Structure 1
Amino acid sequence: MKTDSLSAKAKTRIKRPPSEVFAAFADADLMSKFWFTRRDKGLKEGETVKWYVGSDDGAFAFDVLVKELRKPERIVIEWMGQDGNPARVVWTFEESEQGDTILTVEESGYAGSNDAIVERALDSTGGFNQVVVAAKALVEHGVEVNVVADHVP
């Protein structure tokens, strides 16, 4: 099996315009309601920000490099996986004919053994599917479903 091209992908329709869905990921306060806690003042292309696993003062933090920010169509970041290898995450916000958003998230660039790459792709696919559903709940219905706080490893 050729694993160097494996990626994790999640996709859903969110019945709100792309600008609102984009803001859910670009705005620190909004994203903190459904995914990782953020304390930055918003994403800026070329900057490195910290995202937190939890909201406590001692919460584990990790660096996220913002590679591209094209409002309201695309966000590209790079982060390190738990295995110490970097990966790239791309969000695309496509406006449908109805004016709502087709949200796609794809993580790629895995390294390591074939087994490690497959494991990471499968784990990330599950995680990103939870994230897009949590974003949908927040943006469409105002319901906060924090998938990080409720995650069971």
Structure 2
Amino acid sequence: MKAANNHFAKAEMLIRKPVSEVFKAFVDPEITSKFWFTKGSGKLEEDQTTEWTWEMYGFSLQVKTHVLHENKKIVIEWGAPNETTIVEWIFTELNESETFVSIINSGLKGDADKIIDQVRNSTEGFTLVLAGAKAFLEHNIRLNLVLDRFPKGLA
């Protein structure tokens, strides 16, 4: 059976750390920059806009935070004008030392080929982000997954 709206991407991962620590890792750019973007203009705050920068790609974007429920959920809007999408993180505390993180990127627009491309890229990207967060939070290892996604000469 075909879903009524399959215009979304999803990535999920268990991170063996307390929910408060995992949540903070996605809100505070001092931590997030260890596994995703290289610089953020400030912590995520509800109804505020921040800027995230990937210096290795010479790319920045504005991020508008719509929902910030501590240790539960983050909802942002990001993307080029007229092509913004919604990204939602859901943090499920499994026990005092394990958190299940689900990331859904929705509101993808365009023809079928463009949506398929966006679903593929978003799923791949957020899977790398979650794997990088897991390695950093659980083992204090920086895997450079986002940096190595598009190596120089292949990008």
Q: TM-score, normalised by structure 1?
A: 0.89
C-alpha distance in 2 between matches for 1:61 and 1:122: 21
Structure 1 stretch 33-42 or stretch 21-30: which is displaced more? 33-42
Q: Is the 8 A contact 2:56 2:147 kept in 1?
A: no
Report the alpha carbon displacement of residue 27 of structure 1 after superposing the two structures with TM: 0.6
Quote how far apart the aligned CAs of 1:151 are. 1.9
Alignment coverage as a number of residue pairs: 150
Residue 67 of structure 1 aligns with which residue? 66
Q: Which amino acid aligns with 2:59?
A: F
Cα deviation for residue 148 of structure 1 reads 2.7
Q: What's the % identity of the aligned pairs? A: 35
* Structure 2 contact 66–77 (Cα < 8 Å) conserved: yes
Choose 139-148 or 112-121, whichever is displaced more: 139-148
Q: Does 1:125 align with 2:123?
A: yes
The answer to whether the 8 Å contact 1:85/1:111 transfers is: yes
* Per-residue Cα deviation, 1:60-115 (whole angstroms, up to 9, x for no partner): 2111111111111111101115x951110000110114641001111010111111
Q: Distance in 1 between matches of 2:56 and 2:147?
A: 9
Report the 3-state secondary structure (helix = DSSP H, G, I; strand = E; otherwise coil) of the residue aligned with 2:62. strand
Residue 5 of structure 1 corresponds to which residue in structure 2? Answer: 6
The structural deviation recorded for 1:145 is: 2.1
Structure 2 unaligned regions, length at least 5: none
Counterpart in the other structure of 2:20: 19
| TM-score normalized by the length of structure 2 | 0.88
Matched residue of 2:120: which SS? Answer: helix
